[in-house]
Amino acid sequence: MEISLLLLPSASHIGRVQRVLDFADGLSGSPGESPSRAHLHMLGLPAPEPQHEVRHDQDRAGYLDFYRKVLPGI
């Protein structure tokens, strides 16, 4: 990856790509989750837990794209 970053035209591009890579989360389950995570981040909210398993009476009911036990300040 470092060699690929060096092929970018300027240091500002390298920094931008590195920030995107640092922010990326391989647990995202659909393309729409990435822009949603970016909006939450821009609003100053902490990153949610992605793909949180939800159970009902010991059976798996499904997964939530975003999960947070408690939102701060609420």
17-42 mean pLDDT: 84
Sign of the torsion angle spanned by Cα atoms 13, 15, 20, 22: positive
Q: Does residue 68 surpass a pLDDT of 60? A: yes
pLDDT (0 to 100) of residue 71: 63
Q: Flag whether the pTM goes above 0.75.
A: no
- Judge contact between 54 and 40, C-beta under 8 A: no
The pLDDT tens digits of the residues spanning 31-62 come to 888 888 889 989 998 888 888 888 888 887 88
C-alpha distances in Å from residue 70, one per residue of 14, 45, 48, 74 = 36, 12, 10, 8
pLDDT (0 to 100) of residue 44: 92
Q: Does residue 30 surpass a pLDDT of 70? A: yes
